[in-house]
Amino acid sequence: MLADLSRRLERFPRRVYSHAPTPLQPLPRFSAELAAQCPAGRGPEVWVKRDDMLGLFPGGNKTRKLEFLVADALAQGADTLVTCGAPQSNHCRITLSAAAHEGLECRFVIEERVPGSYHADAGGNHFLFRLMGVEAITVVPGGSDMAAAMAAVAADVARLGRKAYVIPGGGSNAVGGLGYVVCAQELQRQCDEQRLDFDAVVLGSGSSGTHGGLLAGFTALGVATPIVGIGVSRDPAQQEPLVFDEARAVLALLGDGGQGGTTLARGAVQCVGGYWQPKYSLPNAPMVEAVQWLARSEGLLLDPVYTGKAMAGLVGEARRGRWANADRVLFLHTGGLPAAFVYQDTLLAPPAR
């Protein structure tokens, strides 16, 4: 199945920005401390897949998606990438990094989901926007039609006699999702080579490209390991349909959309809510605990918007006994480190009691 999937992926243009594979790393101190807080003192051995170490500074899950998206842009003769995100968007930063690497221009539409949260001179990713030379940033209010806003930017580019390639938020479409089909292949090879089995994969589930792409890859490979998405902006009723549609779109692009091929069961999509409130990107106590805990027990740095809340979900579900009988759970680290530097006061605060 691995060889067959490789042949299907070879049909799509791809730029390679990383040395594969990203490491699989056990977290023994964290696992032992977590187990002591689980029912009957039994919890899973937690491992991490270090997709924060992917290429395009300073790494993260969007790199895998951009390998296919930027290749598609170049194949179409584009000279400008246009994408969108919230203030401190990791996706925008990595897209800009890819544009710089390829000699392309790059423009953003930033959605100010929390009023007053956009500051052009902020640190973190905003510093990197300026350093890497973003051509233009358009700021729109929360709830704006982002597709329409990016189309307007693309039209501005066209009036300059250039050609824009529009990348959706998070790089989450069928083309971008191919990056996490590649990740599914990579992970399966690592498990075979290292003789590892995981009872679940846990990741942050947001724009759905990572979750849906990995699910599509697992489905195409016949891998039954459940993928549990911790919502970073929505609860399951809203998140699960997005992931399901993304996975189906990726499978259809691969030519494996159920017409005589692999079908995707609706129940294969597992999402958990409740760990992202009060709102996307706003801190909460479980996130702060998770970020501090991993930093101080394993020297592993999480970000406050995605991986911090996703790890808070893993911890919370473990404490509830979800993985009481599991041997190993794999956490997918999707990067996001620069955003941590604008949350310093929050992340250094004493833990909530």
Q: Is 40 helix (H, G, I), strand (E, B) or coil?
A: helix
Sheet holding 136-141, edge to edge: 136-141, 105-112, 80-85, 164-166
* Residue 144 falls in the annotated catalytic set: no
Q: Is there a cis peptide before residue 278, judged by omega within 30 degrees of 0?
A: yes
Q: Is 349 helix (H, G, I), strand (E, B) or coil?
A: coil
CA distance 250 to 267: 17
Helices (H), 132-235: 146-159, 174-194, 209-221
Cα 222 to the center of its chain, rounded Å: 22
Structure tokens at 346: 């929050």
Q: Active-site residue among 6, 18, 89, 205?
A: 89
- Ramachandran angles phi, psi of 83, nearest 5°: -145, 180
CB 108 within 8 A of CB 138: yes
CB atoms near residue 149 (< 10 Å): 18
Q: Is 165 helix (H, G, I), strand (E, B) or coil?
A: strand
Dihedral angle computed from the Cα positions of residues 200, 204, 207 and 210, in that order, rounded to the nearest 10 degrees: -50
Q: What is the CA radius of gyration of the chain?
A: 20
CA distance 199 to 191: 12
Helices (H) and strands (E) in the chain, counts: 12, 10
CA distance 278 to 276: 6
Which active-site residues does the annotation give?
Answer: 89
